[in-house]
Structure 1
Amino acid sequence: MSAPLRLGTRRSALAMTQSQMVADAVSAASGRDVELVPIVSEGDVNRASLSQLGGRGVFANGLREALAADRCDFLVHSLKDLPTLQPDGLVIAATPAREDARDVVVTRDGAPLGALPPGSRVGTGSPRRIAQALRHNPRLDIHDIRGNVDSRLARVRDGELDAVILAAAGISRLGGDLGGLHAEELGLAEWPTAPGQGSLAVETRTDIDPEILAALAQLDDEHTRVAVTAERTVLSALDAGCSAPVGTHAAIADGDLRLRAIVYALDGSHRIGIDRTVRLDTGYAREPGSGNDADAADDGGSITRAARVGREAARRLLERGAADLVPRESTT
């Protein structure tokens, strides 16, 4: 009988829940048992704010070290926390179908973010969410917070905060119970989220048993991989860290890959945005009012085209002054 496969995961309730979902799917695909191997990451013990931690892979490095040392066979990451530079010897074997990519504002009474009164205390540790919240309502009192979903919700329920901003996917994967609180779902057109938000990444070693790699690959969702490739390419081409004030969202509709990317000033006072569309079956890319974009034509596959449209979006954002708004990172 084959030994169980070992899945490395962070220890938080959300990470364990996500990982168990993947473990069950891999077990069904491989016919082998899968056991979770909890691993402590730097981000779990370092209580500095996300803006200080930057894009150094603090939620991924410890897991990747365990994988490289053969303490586990594969990993499950929240893709939005994963640096865009892929380490030698490791490969993203699958990106399962994406959950809801939106952010939600959670309050006690259901008041929308834009209607919260001056001085309302809103908790988030994300520079992007801070910038977006202040742009929607400059009168807010933003509190830089860390912690798991339950602890953040408790701070609203107990009256310490008036609202928190969270990922819809995390709430959904934990069962969706807000304990009597109310959620305002934020539309992706005006509130694009972190590149890869709502998506998971299944990572393994390049030298793993081909049968294991094939089992992991069965979890891959092509539409998700194409969309997150475009989003993460924007972040990489901007040379911005995972916590930079950059919101992106890409989706496939009627054979088109549609990408929206916005870079924000940290105080929300200014933003630079762009929309790009690429026709996946022909490589024909266009932007409203721009006519044909010959430089976006691509003879490669959908992933190659997604990366190209991401690079093109980043180039145009930089031409419009995005470099003045984005803290640069050399280790994304």
Structure 2
Amino acid sequence: MSSATTVAITGAAGQIGYSLLPRIAAGEMFGPDRKIRLQLLEIPPALDALRGVAMELQDCAFPLLQEVVTTTDPDVAFGGASWCLLVGSKPRGPGMERADLLLENGRIFVGQGSSIDARAAADCRVVVVGNPCNTNCMIAAAQGSRLGPERYSAMMRLDQNRATALLAQKAGVAVEEVGDVIVYGNHSPSMYPDAANARIAGQPAPAVIGDSDWLRGEFLETVGQRGAAIIAARGLSSAASAANALIDHVHALNTPGKTLHGLAVCSRGEYGMPRGVWAGLPVRTSAPGVFAIVEGIEHDSFARNALEKTGVELAHERELVADFL
């Protein structure tokens, strides 16, 4: 049995946290031989709910769960953590513009980024889920002097999973037959899910689907608007699927190999993304927690226009939060 991995999770009493925590404790994120220490952060009004979640975790009697810490203090939550999963963020309220949401969350991620850089373990990796996750990740990373930008990623895996499932459904195949699906740019309706370079049963996805209008129309719109569709249907945002995507994100980032997957990471200008923003890009994991951006994937003029659009949005968001960087 390996030594325990300390995992800090923010917004831990929320919907995503409630779906996520038992699965981490059961070994789904780090494997069946890894002991887990959970350090759970919430805002003061949610502390009682968090204590209830901790009671439920205890009642599950997970063999891998070594300890659960509940706190409202970021320094306690992030202290010694090897993984910081920043799930919590302020939701968009009625009448709130995206610019207002960015500024409200910017203040939160300044504080959390500073605490992580000061308190987390030397091997720490940070994953941002709380939206707007790309720009929140950039803000948190900007507070660091000890941990470099390569330690920070934002979650595009929910979009990747949505695109994968939709292609599988259209092709009439199992989801494991679909691969190399990358979602570029921002986690927003401007994202670009790249079906042109995806594979279905080892063949180019466009050849298998045989419907370019669908791939350039309904497919892109469905993936880009899926979160809003779920809110309209159930009155709440995605929770179980977001938790599942976070498990996939961390597992992929921890598993070296040739598999292509997508992370939002600090751009150096690949695929036309503005330098220094956190953009969804294709990567391969070279060592646990270490990735390399995959370059050289070709895109046609339609795709390049879509990449430019989502890149412009990320650059605009960076301008809006410039005071936090």
TM-score (norm 2): 0.37
Higher helix share: 2
With CA pairs under 8 Å and 6+ residues apart, which has the higher RCO, 1 or 2? 1
